[in-house]
Every structure is written in C-alpha cells, then in structure tokens.
C-alpha cells in the first residue's frame, strides 16, 4: 500500500465554553492514501465537522483545543505547526469544500478573481516566490516540476489535461490569456457550460449549486494532496444536490487526491466513499469498507442508523428512530457512549470503553483498513431488528 | 439592474437636486439666526465704529427681516455673496481661503483612513486582548477631547516638543513661488520647491492630526465592529483555507467587506471635520474659511460679518452633502450587491 497522505492518530478535540468542556472529538484515528475516499457519517453534533476542520487546523483556538493525538500530513504533524506556518499547509496541501456555498465565496469579488487568487497562490509556491512549508522532515517542495510518482504530480496531469497551464508554470511566466485559460479550465472541470460569462459574475448573481461548483473549482485549482469535503451537498436543493453529487463522484474518479468526505447522509457516503467511519458522540464506533459496513453492520448504532434511513419508510410503515437522544458532550456517558440508547448494553458497556477491534478475529489487529467495530457484543448486532 | 454607468449619473443627479432644498433650509436658518436680534443693535455690535459705519449698518439691518432676506437671496442668486458691514466683499476672501481648508480636511481624512482603519482592524483581530484595549483607549480619548482643547494642547505642548511649527502654512509669510491653488503643499510641489514642500508638510501635520484624532474614533469603532461581524463568516474561512496569510485574509477579504460600513460613517464625519476647522484653523493660524468663519461671527474681537458667516455655512452644507454623496457612491463601488437609486 502507498504511504498515506493523512494519518490521524488518537485525535481529541475539546471546546472550552464558559466553565464547561465539550469533548467534540475523542480518540479518532484514520488514514487516507492517495486516490482513496474516506467517508465520515454520523448525526448532527457527532463531531464530524469538528474533525474536518481540525485537520487543517481551521478551528478557532481557543475555544477549541487539540487535546492529544497527532495529525500527520505528508510526514509532518500539523498539531505542532505554528500559526504563522499554517497558511503554507493550506490550499496547495489541504483543500476544503464547505457546507454553506451561499456564504463561502467572498461577496465583493468576481468569480474570476476568487479562482485566480487560488491559482496564483499555487503558481507562486511552485515558483518558490511564496514561502513553502518547511516545518517537517519531509518538506513540501512546490518548486519541483510535477512528478507523476507523487500525488501532486498525478493531480497535475489529471486536472489540467490540456497541458497549457502546466507549461505556463514551467515557463514561470504565464501570460494573461494563458492565465485566463487556466481559470476557465477549472470552470470547465466542474462542468460549467458557460464559463466565459460566469467569470465576470459576482457570487450573489449565482445559484447555490453554481456557487458550490465554483467552490469545488477553487479548491481543486490549488491541486491539493488532500481534499476535505465537509457536507458539500447538504445545504442544496435535492435536485441540485444530485447534480453536485454526480459531479463529485466524477471528480473523485478523475482526481487522485486523498479525499475525506463528511456527510450525515448514508446514501451519499455509500455512493462516494471507499471506506466509511461511523461517528457517534465524538468517537468512531465502526470503520471499514463501505459495502461491508453497510451490508453487515457490527455496531448497534450503525445498524439503527441504517434502519432509520428514510429509504425504508414505505415498507416499514412509520420511520424508525433511535430511542433517546445524543448525549451532552460536556458530560459524556462513561464507558461506551452509546450504551444509554443501546438494546445490547450490559454492565461492561457502562464501565469500560470498547476498543475499535477487528470484526474478523483472525485479521491483523493493527490494520487500519479492515472492518472494525467498537462494540463488546458485535457478534450479536445481526440479531437486532 | 441598477449597476450601469447611466444609473450612477442619474443617482448623482438626483442627489444633487436634493441639495437645493437642503441649501434653502440652511440659508433661511442661518439668516434668521444671525439677523433676528440685530434690529436696532448696530450701536451695541459696533461700539467704537464711526458714524458712517453705524449708518451703513442701520441702513442694511434696520429693515424688516423679510425685506432683508429677499434682498439677500436676490443678490445671492445674482452671484453676489454680499459684503461685510465694513464693505469688504465676501466672495474673493472665501475663494482665496477655501482651498486651504480643503487641503486641511483632506489631510485629516487621509490620516483617519491610513491610521484609523488599520487600528480598527487590529482591534478586531486581537479583540478582548491588550491591543484592542489600547486602541479603544486611543480613539475614545480622541472622541472625548473638545476640539479647542486638543488644538491648544497640540499647538502649545506637542508641536514644540516635536520641533514642529504650530502656526501658518509656511515658515515665511509669503512663499517664493506663485500660489496657483492656494493649497500650501500642492503649490510647493507645483513649484518643484522641495524644501518648501517639507516645510508646508511640517505646518500641515499638526492641525491635520488634531482634526483627525478628534474625528477618527467613529471610523475606528465602525471598522472594529464590522470586522468583528465579518471575521466569523464563511468566506473568511474560505480565504484562510486557500492558504492566504493572515495579513491578506484581514486586509483583502475581511476589510474589503467591513469597509462598506466604515465608508458611510466617514461621510458622516465630514460635518465634524468641517466644524472642527473653525477652531483648529484659528488656533494654528491656518488661512482657511474656518478662520474666516471664526472672524465672521466676531471671534477674537473682529468685526461681525453676517454675509460671510452665511456663506461659510452654505459652503459647509455643500461640503457635507457632497461628502455623503461620495460615501454613497463608494458604498456601491465596494459592495457589488448595492444598486444606485
């Protein structure tokens, strides 16, 4: 297996608000290799968005604190990176697509300027005009020409097939029209039919779906090694959602970046991700290949979540729900955080936190990519209704 | 859509039409205020004047108020701004003094923009920390300082301490070059006289700083408040996520949107700036219409000059309206969602 682009180990993120401390993310570990899509699914408030923003260190600190753990991105632990160096990791290193396309574009600038700014940041870093990240033992070197064996290299080949923009970078002097052409190429990449017109528009003149496409184009134009999509379709109308999702799926096939896809929608995750992590109350309770997890869930929460998905409501009558409510994360229940709502809960669940253990007892315990569940009674989950 | 150049012309035209009722109101108010109690008071106002002056004064101010007003407004529409009771015409004096005031006000506005706005950004960036508190102490003390006190302190203590001159436009009464524009720095630059340019700037910096310090508070405060509103927004986060440094996130993406409010407020401060010139110009012996206005209302024992006072008020009113018009145009320039109408 190739080196992971991102490897998160035992990450814990807390929010300190007033006198209370909220454990938003507890002990989360995951790895993403180039070209792989890891989905994180969970209900509102389970910490999945906090996890997404913690990785590029985008959370305001304070109130957020990264309590323990590491976020190793291409060999560098981002937890130890200084505030001043953080911008060097973002953009060309880690790109992000946000949930709210309506407000994520600056209302004062035209589409052209916003995408052009991203491309310029990448050009400057490639040319060494802007300081690149030098924090770790494996520094990012943007000055080297794209090399097909690296993630950035394969991305460069895939995203700009015309080669015009690549040459511009090599020549170190992009002419105006070449530059404009590069901006246009990203608008075409996100399937915008009339890019020439869109370029000159302001965000408020665009629809929500269009704005989300621009956001995607903006993130991709920096050729990030890791792309984090934080509920990219959730704020859109259902029809637009489907369009953007189709686009995302197509782009996932084209772009060989490592992708972290956050969603509360099981269907979206099933369609896009290779592996899925199910989050509950700040912890990953089940992890594994998407098909396996969804076909044969081994955690009671996953099972109940799948049952509660609206796809079933016609056959089963009223929508099934999970009894109880999400725990208050300032005082999470001891032991397994799901035990107050769980039909299988016993004394041990109240006392001890179950580890994320392989479902198949014969599998190597240290593998990150096999089906694992954090439940002492994972064998009995299938017996649940 | 309301964003075409034609719409802008229409917008400016409409706003300038609104100037007419504003000016009429201003003229009536000032006229009444200056003339109401004057009937039969020429002797009291000019106790040591010669009989000719008293007679001229009585002839002018003895008539009923309405008659005087009709007479004044008629001459005004003929392009005649009137004359002082001693016969000195108003117009040439104002025409010679106005550029100096414009120079002073623009210099103060420049300082307000290049110092006041970044201070607001810094305060918002470090909100609740010591930098924020320092900035707030700074602008609140400016806000709380009466103009005359600030001007006198600057002229008597700060100026000498910094080795800055505290009076006039140049170190010599008449500079050795023609004064085409009557703006001290501009004239020195036109004459390519480098020492005099420095000299003029040294004379300008203190009165402009006083005016700016006293009027800056609102700009800093509004910048700070709207930056605090803008900073948590999603597009600021997007800008960070692009890999932009904090400086560009602040001064390009956030400030660009925060400035929309600040610009409007800067238009409103025009009134304060112009009013401030009356005291500041008098203290710093700056030959502008502020000083003219001070003399016109009898300040410093000079002879009262009511036509001159009304003329200054008219000019200040035009200044305030035009400043706000510029602010409104800038509002549309900064925010593409605004339509001019």
Q: How confident is the model at residue A130 (pLDDT cuts 50, 70, 90)?
A: low
* Contact present, A38 and A47 (Cβ < 8 Å): no
pLDDT at A149: 41
**Average pLDDT value for residue range A79-92:** 80
Give the tens place of pLDDT for each residue, B50-93: 777 777 777 767 777 888 888 888 888 888 888 876 778 888 88
Closest partner residue to B241 (CB to CB) among A90, A105, A109 is: A90
- Closest residue in A to B253 (Cα) is A106
Nearest chain A residue to B232 by CA distance is A60
Task: Give the integer Cα–Cα distance in Å for B217 and B207.
Answer: 17
**Average pLDDT over chain A, rounded to an integer:** 77
Asked if A204 is an interface residue toward chain B (Cβ–Cβ < 8 A), one would say yes
Please list the residue range(s) of chain B that carry CATH number 1.10.3720.10: 90-334
CA-nearest of A139, A151, A158, A154 to A34 is A151
User: Between residues A229 and A310, which one has the greater pLDDT?
Assistant: A229
Is residue B90 within 8 Å of residue B84, measured between CB atoms? yes
Residue B225: its pLDDT value, please? 93
CB contact under 8 A, A204 and B243: no
Cα separation of the two ends of chain A: 38
Taking only the tens place, the pLDDT of each residue in B183-202 is: 888 888 888 888 888 888 98
Instruction: Decide if pLDDT at A1 tops 70.
Output: no
CA distance A212 to A216: 6
> Residue A140 has what pLDDT?
40
Q: What is the number of CB-based contacts under 8 A between chain A and chain B?
A: 73
Cβ contact (<8 Å) for B243 and A93? yes
Are A104 and B237 a contacting pair at CB < 8 A? yes
pLDDT at A162: 42
Binary contact (B235, A104; C-beta < 8 A): yes
Nearest residue on chain B to A110, alpha-carbon basis:
B336
Q: Which range, of A290-294, A362-366, B18-22, averages the lowest pLDDT?
A: A362-366
Q: Is A334 left (phi over 0), alpha (psi -120 to 50) or beta?
A: beta
Nearest by CB to residue B237, choosing from A58, A83, A121, is A58
CB contact under 8 A, A103 and B234: yes
Instruction: Assess whether the previous peptide bond of A137 is cis (omega < 30° from 0).
Output: no
Sheet holding A6-17, edge to edge: A20-32, A6-17, A64-73, A76-77
Q: Does A64 touch chain B (CB under 8 A)?
A: no
Interface contact B243-A88, CB threshold 8 A: yes
Q: How crowded is the C-beta side of B224, counted as CA atoms within 13 Å?
A: 23
* Widest CA span in chain A: 70
Range of weakest confidence among A51-55, A315-319, B2-6 = A315-319
A48-78 pLDDT, tens digit per residue, is 888 888 888 888 877 888 888 888 887 778 8
Closest chain B residue to A57 measured between Cα atoms? B241
* pTM, two decimal places: 0.81
pLDDT of amino acid A124: 77
pLDDT computed for residue A161 by the predictor: 39
Which of B241, B243, B256 is closest, CB to CB, to A108? Answer: B256
Percentage of chain B lying above the pLDDT 90 cut: 20
A340 or B37: whose pLDDT is higher?
A340
Chain A: closest CA distance from residue B72 (Å):
49
Maximum mean pLDDT: which of A69-83, B221-235, B290-304: B221-235
If one compares B30 and B301, the residue with the highest pLDDT of the two is B30
B-interface mutation test, from A57, A97, A106, most B Cβ less than 10 A away: A106
Provide, rounded to the nearest whole percent, the portion of chain B with pLDDT above 70: 93
Picking from B239, B241, B334, the nearest residue to A106 by CB comes out as B239
Report the C-alpha gap between A131 and B304 in whole angstroms.
67
Across the interface, of B240, B256, B335, the residue whose CB is closest to A58 is: B240
Chain B residues whose beta carbon lies within 8 Å of the beta carbon of residue A56: 241
Residue to test with chain A: of B243, B255, B257, B335, most A Cβ within 10 A: B243
- Average pLDDT of chain B to the nearest whole number: 85
Whether B304 and B45 have beta carbons less than 8 Å apart is answered as yes
> What CATH number does the domain located at B90-334 have?
1.10.3720.10
pLDDT band at residue A315 using 50, 70 and 90 as cut-offs? low
Q: Between the CA of residue A154 and those of A150, A157, A274, what are the distances in Å?
A: 6, 5, 19
pLDDT at A148: 38
Report d(CA A79, CA A68) in Å as an integer. Answer: 9
With vertex at residue A79, the alpha carbon angle to CA A74 and CA A83, rounded to the nearest 5 degrees, is: 105
Query: Predicted confidence band at B220 (pLDDT cuts at 50, 70, 90)?
Result: very high
A 72-131 → B contacts, CB under 8 A:
83, 87-96, 98, 100, 103-109, 117-118, 121, 125
Of A83, A93, A103, the CB nearest to B235: A103
> What pLDDT digit, counting tens, does each position of A327-384 carry?
777 777 888 888 888 777 777 778 788 888 787 777 776 677 888 888 887 777 777 7
**A229 shares contact with chain B (CB less than 8 Å):** no
**Model confidence at B138: pLDDT above 90:** yes
In this complex, do A58 and B244 lie within 8 Å of one another by their Cβ atoms? no
Confidence of residue B40 (pLDDT cuts 50, 70, 90): low
Q: Which residues pair with A76 in a beta bridge?
A: A73
Q: What is the DSSP letter of A2?
A: P
Q: Has residue B128 got a pLDDT over 50?
A: yes
Q: Is the model's pLDDT at A145 over the cut of 60?
A: no
Determine the pLDDT at residue A337: 84
At residue B117 the predicted structure's pLDDT band, cuts being 50, 70 and 90, is very high
**Residue B43: predicted pLDDT:** 65
Residues in chain B within 8 Å Cβ distance of A83: 246
Look at B241 and A204 and tell me if their CB atoms are within 8 Å: no
């Amino acid at each position: 297996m190739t080196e992971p682009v991102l490897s998160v180990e035992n990450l814990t993120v807390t929010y300190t608000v007033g006198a209370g401390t909220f454990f938003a993310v507890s002990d989360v570990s995951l790895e993403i290799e180039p070209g792989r899509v890891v989905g994180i699914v969970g209900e509102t408030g389970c910490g999945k968005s906090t996890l997404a923003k913690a990785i590029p260190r985008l959370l305001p600190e304070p109130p957020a604190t990264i309590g323990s753990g590491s976020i190793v991105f291409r060999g560098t632990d981002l937890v130890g990176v200084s505030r001043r160096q953080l911008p060097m990791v973002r953009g060309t290193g880690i790109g992000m697509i946000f949930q709210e396309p309506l407000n994520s574009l600056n209302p004062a600038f035209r589409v052209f300027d916003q995408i052009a700014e991203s491309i310029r940041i990448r050009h400057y870093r490639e040319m060494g005009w802007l300081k690149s990240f030098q924090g770790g033992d494996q520094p990012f070197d943007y000055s080297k020409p794209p090399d097909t064996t690296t993630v950035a290299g394969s991305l460069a080949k895939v995203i700009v097939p015309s080669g015009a923009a690549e040459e511009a970078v090599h020549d170190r002097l992009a002419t105006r029209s070449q530059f404009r052409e590069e901006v246009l190429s990203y608008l075409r990449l996100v399937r915008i039919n009339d890019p020439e017109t869109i370029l000159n528009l302001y965000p408020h003149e665009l629809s929500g779906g269009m704005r989300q496409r621009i956001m995607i184009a903006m993130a991709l134009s920096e050729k990030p090694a890791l792309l984090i999509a934080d509920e990219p379709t959730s704020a859109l109308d259902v029809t637009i959602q489907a369009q953007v999702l189709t686009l995302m799926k197509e782009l996932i096939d084209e772009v060989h970046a490592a992708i972290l896809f956050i969603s509360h929608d099981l269907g979206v995750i099933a369609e896009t991700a290779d592996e899925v992590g199910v989050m509950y109350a700040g912890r990953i309770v089940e992890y594994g290949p998407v098909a396996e997890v969804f076909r044969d869930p081994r955690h009671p929460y996953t099972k109940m979540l799948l049952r509660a998905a609206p796809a079933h409501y016609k056959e089963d009558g009223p929508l099934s729900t999970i009894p109880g409510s999400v725990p208050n994360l300032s005082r999470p229940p001891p032991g397994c955080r799901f035990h107050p709502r769980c039909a299988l809960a016993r004394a041990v669940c109240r006392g001890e936190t179950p580890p994320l253990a392989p479902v198949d007892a014969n599998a190597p315990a240290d593998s990150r990519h096999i089906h694992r569940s954090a439940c002492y009674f994972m064998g009995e989950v299938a017996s649940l209704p | 859509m309301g964003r075409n150049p034609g719409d802008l012309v229409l917008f400016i035209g409409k706003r300038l039409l609104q100037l007419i009722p504003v000016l009429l109101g201003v003229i009536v108010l000032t006229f009444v205020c200056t003339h109401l109690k004057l009937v039969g008071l020429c002797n009291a106002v000019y106790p040591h004047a010669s009989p000719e002056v008293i007679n001229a004064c009585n002839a002018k101010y003895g008539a009923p108020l309405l008659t005087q007003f009709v007479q004044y407004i008629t001459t005004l529409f003929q392009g005649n701004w009137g004359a002082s009771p001693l016969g000195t015409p108003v117009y040439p004096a104002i025409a010679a003094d106005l550029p100096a005031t414009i120079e002073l006000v623009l210099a103060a506005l420049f300082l307000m923009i290049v110092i006041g706005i970044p201070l607001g950004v810094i305060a918002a960036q470090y909100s609740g920390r010591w930098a924020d508190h320092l900035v707030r102490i700074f602008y609140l003390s400016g806000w709380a300082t009466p103009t005359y006190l600030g001007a006198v302190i600057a002229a008597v203590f700060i100026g000498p301490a910094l080795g800055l001159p505290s009076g006039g436009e140049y170190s010599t009464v008449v500079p050795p070059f023609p004064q085409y524009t009557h703006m001290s720095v501009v004239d020195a630059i036109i004459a390519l006289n480098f020492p005099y340019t420095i000299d003029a700037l040294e004379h300008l910096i203190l009165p402009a700083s006083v005016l700016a310090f006293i009027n800056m508070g609102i700009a800093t405060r509004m910048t700070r408040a709207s930056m605090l509103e803008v900073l948590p927004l999603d597009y600021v986060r997007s800008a960070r996520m692009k890999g932009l440094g904090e400086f560009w996130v602040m001064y390009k993406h956030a400030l660009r949107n925060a400035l929309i409010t600040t610009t409007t407020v800067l238009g409103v401060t025009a009134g304060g700036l112009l009013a401030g010139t009356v005291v500041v110009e008098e203290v710093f012996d700056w030959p502008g219409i502020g000083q003219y206005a001070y003399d016109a209302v009898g300040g410093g024992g000079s002879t009262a000059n009511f036509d001159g006072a009304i003329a200054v008020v008219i000019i200040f009113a035009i200044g305030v309206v035009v400043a706000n018009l510029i602010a409104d145009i800038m509002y549309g320039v900064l925010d593409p969602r605004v339509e001019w109408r």
